Chains A and B, each alone.
Chain A
Amino acid sequence: MNPLRKKNQFRADNVEENVIFFFWNNKKYFANKGDSIAAGLLANNQHVIGRSFKYHRPRGIMSAGVEEAGALVTIGNGAYTEANVRATTTELTQGLSVYSQNAWPSVKFDIGSILNVLGRFFAAGFYYKMFMGIPPFEWGRGTKIWMFFEHFIRKAAGLGQSSRLPDPDCYEHMHTHTDVLVIGTGPAGLQAAISAAKEGKDVLIVEQDYAIGGSYLSQPDTVELETQIEVLKQLQVTILTRTTAFGLYDDKTVGLVQVMPAKEYKTSSKKPRQQFNICRAEKIILATGAIERSYAFINNDLPGIMSVSSARTYLNRYNLLLSKNIVISTNNDSAYETAIELENAGATITILDAREQIGNKLLQQIAGLRINLYLGSGVVKAEKGLNTSSIGKIKLVEFANNKWRYAGNLYCDCLLISAGWSPVIHLASHQGYPINWNEENACFLSSGDNKSIFLIGSARGIWTKAGCIQSAKEIFQYNSRKKHKPSTVIGGWETPLAPIYEICLHNIKGKAFVDPQHDVTSSDIRLAYQEGFISVEHMKRYTTLGMATDQGKMGNIIGLALMAEALNCSISEVGVTRFRPPYTSISLGALAGRNRQSHFKPIRRTPFNNFSIQNRGVMINAGLWHRPWYYPMESESLEAAYIREATVTRRSLGICDVSSLGKIIIQGPDSTEFINRVYTNPFAKLPVGKARYGIMLRDDGLVFDDGTTWRLSENCYLMTTTTDNASSVMARLEELLQVRWPDLSVQVTSVTDQWGGCALAGPNSRNLLTKIIDDPSEISNESLPFMGIKQVLMQNVPCYVARISFSGELGYEIYIPSDYAQSMMEFIWENGQKFECCLYGLEALGTMRIEKGHLTNAEIDGRVTIQDIGLSKMASSNKDYIGKVLKNREKLTDSDRPQLVGIFPKDKNKTFKAGALLNEAGYSNGHPLGWVTSVTFSPALGHWIALGFITGGLAYVKDKNIVLSDELRSNFLDVEIVSPQMYDPEGLRLHG
């Protein structure tokens, strides 16, 4: 095959301006502006474009469109590398680098092609059988050499490789609303857009190609196309090219991705490379066209074999005549138009028509042209030419006595195939609209809902241009409220097609491909049948038919037909798998848009954030929050820092940022009743100015969250929640008030961000407080007892001071309006210097709470009951509350449930980690007795300690030898199970 450029048809005066260069495997070539990569390669006589997925067979260009299964290439360099790009739909730009894929050392000589010789081992199910070690591969199971082999095989199969560098481009999201969305700019699509716009509708029309026109572009003259585009522009219709409608979703939503041309986004980094567009339309018109099918015959994947329509596209759109000597194998009328145009361009044509008769009109059209017509003929095998990887010879068959028989050879360097057309019904299928097999035209058809989603043109199985345009006009000729009943006739050929899906003769052997992109052959389909994978869903997964990047656009129907033949039933009985979005692959970057890194997960900073950073705080992510982790002095390590912080706090004074706790204001006449129903312990008699620690259960009786709730006035409470559950507790309270108990007059408001929380802990905390608040008498032991809260003035700013302790020391929490938080913290810290004082972070906070056996989400993990965490005394029996009934379910009250305990290593020098399992000595296997949830070094006790759960709790394991085992780190040690209150169990320090 040696394609020729026809005379240059550019209207521009300067032809040189229309020539561009590009690189193919690092070699420079020239092409015309507007060429696709495939056209540019063909014009330079490059036919082997890549190597196939499994067998590493040489592959060339098979089409001129989105269905391409052979010519996949990698474009760009470095971080801009884009793999598995269809050469047929990607525009060549000046200086573009294009590379072949899946071949080593080169696409012309590829070592991996040895796999082709070993082909019979690589049939369907190969990967399953091989990797699972089932017959015939059972002998290799588990051996080392097999593992090595597996590694090689996994590496050998594949397509292009993407860059491992971070994506340097930016992507954008947008939302579009329109009256009418038309998908496809062929004759039907353009007409639909015009008709809609003439009715005064707001119309958006999208085209996946970089040029408008669809099948118009493949026609010899473009006058009609130009007229239609002119009308569209006058009607101010929005036209988007390079825009794929990849999915149809609920509520008439279409996912669009617009790809910018390579040059445009690189010259200005501010321009997005791709735009993800969520489009909502009142009417969606699918003018998505149809894809020409091939059929299975031996070596039907050789370079030089293409669809008939693509030869027409290369001829008329790209001025490329593929060869002087072309063979066309067809079973329908559509190929003749192309044959005539190719002949006019100077080629000699041989048509092999599978039908035994064709209409007179066609015969008249080809009379007198250099076209040889063989009726009742087809191809059974293609063979390589001499000194080339491309096609050189074909073996013909003729139809006689109801079967195919061998009828000689024919030399040619270009074979075009048309075995019928498959309408692009993918989008309708995404939404589950029924898909029916049309026997006469041998294709699946769908009609949308004919109310807001319509299929028109060849997407509805209409093969003539006039019919396509008529089907577009029709939609707008009816009252849009009524259901549309299309009148245009499906089909439109003079002689119906003769369905062929495969031509094979028992004495001619070789591989006939059904899905060339995944190297699925016709014998793979038969193997699937033999092995019982006859359901279409099973066949797909077993053979991987249609699971490649083209999603089986060319091969699926052949596969279905072969299965139908094996089962001796019709294709409609075999059925079809539902198409899933996306129609063509889209980049993850487009889906992510600008939601990357901190735009994906915004950072929440506490009001003390700057203060913490100024004071050398190292921050840690806790959910979305940035919280101070530890405050190292000079080159102090995390461990040294938290031990120092906890020690200083217990000895004198520590200050900590606790702003991330959830804070909810609960107001209204029924707020006491509401809180009483939400918490397990009674709140009804809580005096104003006092607080209680409360436990909240879920409906199913398990523990949901814990926190302290302060009664600020008769009908106003301040509830605190754990940092993790702040938003879910809020949503839960709102649900209870709005859905379940609408009779309660209560308002809840989240004030987490409005107040900065600062904890003072340690024996000197009250001494510091006296120095910083305006009237120190308000916080004496008597006027602010344990669990009391008071509004005080600090530097004339109203703050709340609550006497509460998470560390087990005498402690206070000061709640400061966020706007004053930074300056107040500086003021507090300045006064703290009069004592031995430190800032402590999350790590030291954790250490002190573990020493005291206080809980966090490591323990309250959604699986524990109130008894499990040792707080059954907090479950009131005198009132009703959420979870009260179901917490008493049989298994939840068992005494042998895992219960909260403290853990000491017997050898006090030993360390261990959270997640380790606990077992009785001698029982290291099977279900463990318990596990470790939180671990720390305890400065107060001088060794490592932990909290965890163990079956039956302290009482059950009292006299047993318990072993802690961390299999992953090979750490095994004897431990002592103790009460979770490991430090100061009497709570003497708490009251100062």
Chain B
Amino acid sequence: MIQIECPFCGKRDQSEFSYGREGQITFPALNADENSWYDAVFLRKNTYGRQIETWQHTHGCRSWLLVERDTVTHKIFSVKLAHTDWQKQIKKTT
């Protein structure tokens, strides 16, 4: 059972998190052509080895995270917030 180091909450059991999807996917603009949407939604690399993926700390701070994980060994190399400039956003809102 792996543990994920949440940037807000610290090291927590995997059972607190939910897997999202492959993190390398860049979703096209909402009005992009059908092919690029098709690629983003249906084509997966199915990486054997290291990949970036998104996880949500569902039973914690609810942050979405970018987790670099080895799909073979389940070893985790890095965890960071998916929202890169959340601090700026909070300032803008308040």
A831 at the interface (CB under 8 A from B): no
Report whether B56 and A734 are in contact in the complex, using a CB–CB cutoff of 8 Å.
yes
A880 at the interface (CB under 8 A from B): yes
CB-CB < 8 A to A880: which residues of B? Answer: 29-31
A895 at the interface (CB under 8 A from B): no
- Contacting residue for B37 out of A250, A699, A734, A739, CB 8 A: A699
Roughly how many angstroms separate A280 CA and B33 CA in the complex, as a whole number? 49
The stretch from A262-270, A385-393, A885-893, A940-948 touching chain B is A885-893
Count how many pairs of residues, one from A and one from B, have CB atoms less than 8 Å apart in the complex: 75
Report whether A745 and B31 are in contact in the complex, using a CB–CB cutoff of 8 Å.
no
- Contacting residue for B1 out of A253, A739, A882, A886, CB 8 A: A253
Interface size (B, Cβ < 8 Å)? 34
Report whether B34 and A251 are in contact in the complex, using a CB–CB cutoff of 8 Å.
no
25 A/B residue pairs, CB under 8 Å, sorted by A: A250-B1, A250-B74, A251-B2, A280-B3, A667-B93, A669-B93, A731-B56, A731-B58, A734-B56, A734-B64, A735-B56, A735-B64, A739-B20, A739-B54, A739-B64, A739-B82, A742-B85, A745-B93, A880-B29, A882-B30, A885-B32, A885-B33, A885-B34, A886-B37, A886-B41
Report whether B63 and A885 are in contact in the complex, using a CB–CB cutoff of 8 Å.
no
Roughly how many angstroms separate A739 CA and B83 CA in the complex, as a whole number? 6
Report whether A884 and B56 are in contact in the complex, using a CB–CB cutoff of 8 Å.
no
Contact A884/B31 with A669-B93, A738-B63, A742-B83 known, Cβ cut-off 8 Å: yes
Roughly how many angstroms separate A865 CA and B62 CA in the complex, as a whole number? 30
- The closest CB in chain A to the CB of B84 belongs to A742
Roughly how many angstroms separate A749 CA and B2 CA in the complex, as a whole number? 29
CB-CB < 8 A to B73: which residues of A? Answer: 250
Report whether B54 and A735 are in contact in the complex, using a CB–CB cutoff of 8 Å.
yes
- The closest CB in chain B to the CB of A668 belongs to B93
Most chain A beta-carbon neighbours within 10 Å: one of B1, B31, B42, B81: B1
A473 at the interface (CB under 8 A from B): no
CB-CB < 8 A to B82: which residues of A? Answer: 738-739, 742
CB-CB < 8 A to B58: which residues of A? Answer: 731
- The closest CB in chain A to the CB of B81 belongs to A738
List CB contacts (< 8 Å) of A193-236 with chain B: none
B92 at the interface (CB under 8 A from A): yes
A700 at the interface (CB under 8 A from B): yes
List CB contacts (< 8 Å) of B34-74 with chain A: 34, 37-38, 40-42, 54, 56, 58, 62-64, 73-74
Roughly how many angstroms separate A669 CA and B94 CA in the complex, as a whole number? 10
CB-CB < 8 A to B30: which residues of A? Answer: 677, 880-882, 884-885
A66 at the interface (CB under 8 A from B): no
Most chain B beta-carbon neighbours within 10 Å: one of A735, A885, A889: A885
- The closest CB in chain A to the CB of B4 belongs to A251
CB-CB < 8 A to B54: which residues of A? Answer: 735, 739
Binding site for A on B (CB under 8 A): 1-3, 18, 20, 27, 29-34, 37-38, 40-42, 54, 56, 58, 62-64, 73-74, 81-86, 89, 92-93
CB-CB < 8 A to B37: which residues of A? Answer: 699, 885-886
CB B23 to nearest CB in A, in angstroms, measures 8
List CB contacts (< 8 Å) of A722-780 with chain B: 731, 734-735, 737-740, 742, 745, 747
CB B38 to nearest CB in A, in angstroms, measures 7
CB-CB < 8 A to A904: which residues of B? Answer: none
A665 at the interface (CB under 8 A from B): no
A249 at the interface (CB under 8 A from B): yes
CB A852 to nearest CB in B, in angstroms, measures 32
A278 at the interface (CB under 8 A from B): yes
Roughly how many angstroms separate A699 CA and B86 CA in the complex, as a whole number? 24
CB-CB < 8 A to B74: which residues of A? Answer: 250-251
Roughly how many angstroms separate A280 CA and B11 CA in the complex, as a whole number? 13
A 854-893 binary contact with B (CB < 8 Å = 1; else 0): 0000000000000000000000000011101110110000
- The closest CB in chain A to the CB of B30 belongs to A880
Roughly how many angstroms separate A884 CA and B2 CA in the complex, as a whole number? 38
Report whether B41 and A745 are in contact in the complex, using a CB–CB cutoff of 8 Å.
no
- Contacting residue for A885 out of B1, B31, B42, CB 8 A: B31
CB B71 to nearest CB in A, in angstroms, measures 12
- The closest CB in chain B to the CB of A253 belongs to B1
Roughly how many angstroms separate A677 CA and B31 CA in the complex, as a whole number? 11
Report whether B83 and A738 are in contact in the complex, using a CB–CB cutoff of 8 Å.
yes
CB-CB < 8 A to A884: which residues of B? Answer: 30-31
Roughly how many angstroms separate A966 CA and B7 CA in the complex, as a whole number? 55
CB-CB < 8 A to A889: which residues of B? Answer: 34
CB-CB < 8 A to B89: which residues of A? Answer: 742, 745
CB-CB < 8 A to A886: which residues of B? Answer: 34, 37-38, 41
A 659-671 binary contact with B (CB < 8 Å = 1; else 0): 0000000011100
A251-B2, A667-B93, A742-B86 known, 11 other contacts, Cβ within 8 Å: A250-B1, A278-B1, A677-B30, A699-B27, A699-B41, A738-B86, A739-B83, A740-B27, A745-B89, A885-B31, A889-B34
Q: Which 8 A-B pairs have the closest CB atoms?
A: A880-B30, A738-B64, A738-B83, A739-B82, A250-B74, A885-B37, A880-B31, A742-B83
Roughly how many angstroms separate A747 CA and B92 CA in the complex, as a whole number? 12
CB A181 to nearest CB in B, in angstroms, measures 15
Contact A700/B1 with A884-B30, A884-B31, A885-B33 known, Cβ cut-off 8 Å: no
Roughly how many angstroms separate A428 CA and B62 CA in the complex, as a whole number? 35
A 362-397 binary contact with B (CB < 8 Å = 1; else 0): 000000000000000000000000000000000000
- The closest CB in chain A to the CB of B58 belongs to A731
Roughly how many angstroms separate A63 CA and B49 CA in the complex, as a whole number? 44
A 261-301 binary contact with B (CB < 8 Å = 1; else 0): 00000000000000000101000000000000000000000
CB-CB < 8 A to A667: which residues of B? Answer: 93
Roughly how many angstroms separate A250 CA and B74 CA in the complex, as a whole number? 7
CB-CB < 8 A to B86: which residues of A? Answer: 738, 742
